[in-house]
A and B are shown apart, each in its own frame.
Chain A
């Protein structure tokens, strides 16, 4: 089965974002990164563990009426390094972008260290340096390697 076939399993969208080539099983984390839990009324289609020529198995997420911000794309890159992001306008792909690992991610992750100043209600965004195998708080130095998605700000 080709990637084209799998695209058809989830309906086309008129305007919005298609996040393709997400690591198999990570689609729900992707939704949580972009803050979608269904309550906002967006139309969302998700394919989980669909066959892929390139990845074997992949997830695909289509969100109607929503484009991603750069900081969302940055965090996305940490859990889905192979993802491609397609911006759809009037049913056509107007932009296609591969995610790139940023040098830092700002304001998206929460620091797991309860004694970190970013958890003290001060007027600052969290800032994490991206390491080869994790991220590191630029305030308290705490390193997160596992389960990054658990630290996404709600």
Chain B
């Protein structure tokens, strides 16, 4: 991989993705064996909004490589509160650390920040924009469970604001996949994502309910629909059941269906599903560590 920064899934070619996933598989096989890879290297965690999972998996990944983290801490206690610009903050942090993982509530923040620093900058989520390291761990999980070519994947839930969805949909265009998007009308894919998928010649269909497409799927990627996205509760109640799954829903699904979710979930996957072999979301979360180890290993 010849990138200085990891900003968007769009920058990743099939070769890049496969290189990361192969390296991740090596680390996955023996995470303790990588301690001599990057001793003393420091990863700065600049998280402008809370994200326990992403932050902890970055922290675990760098420590598994023999490095350590420095943490900006909560924004309330930082210079950000005093009005310092993001551009200034990352330029200061650049002097302390060998790489920066940035989580920021605004779209395009990682792109902008990367223009001000020479150390590798990893986008750990920018508003409703992109979340490329999540995408790589999603791809790793899909490859393990179903393979990345000749698969049919359903992506369901909040497709409008779900940055993990935007990154994943784009990355999947590198492979021979059929993508089905299932969402309420008001939370359909945004125009810019459709534009990219169209440009890439992706095989894409959109649905307003899971029923008609579920039997065809090899992978079902569920995301959370936030109740507050709906103008009124009635509107939410009308659609809510169509975008949640329970054991009964799965009757028409293929036995080998892989069910994924970027977590945290609320009520979109019934906990009774957790015990089925199909449930892959916790494994998916665990895959965050070897995949982020691979990314850091290649950038540091």
Contacts and interface: CB of A to CB of B under 8 A. Distances in A.
A142 B46 CA distance: 25
Interface string A101-125: 0000000000001011110111110
B107 interface: yes
A117 B112 CA distance: 8
B195 interface: yes
The secondary-structure label for the interface of chain B is mixed
Contacts of A118: 108, 112
Interface residues of A, number: 19
Nearest to B104: A117
Contacts of B111: 117, 138-139
A143 interface: yes
A116 B129 CA distance: 9
B163 to A, nearest CB: 11
B192 A139 contact: no
Contacts of A10: none
In the complex, which range does the number of interface residues on chain B fall in? 10 to 19
A143 B195 contact: yes
Nearest to B88: A123
B49 to A, nearest CB: 12
A117 B116 CA distance: 14
Contacts of A139: 107-108, 111-112
A55 interface: no
Q: In the A-B complex, list the 7 residue pairs whose CB atoms are closest, starting with the nearest.
A: A139-B108, A140-B107, A140-B108, A117-B108, A141-B192, A117-B109, A117-B106
16 contacts: A115-B127, A115-B128, A116-B106, A117-B86, A117-B111, A118-B112, A122-B112, A137-B108, A139-B108, A139-B112, A140-B106, A140-B108, A141-B129, A141-B192, A142-B107, A143-B191
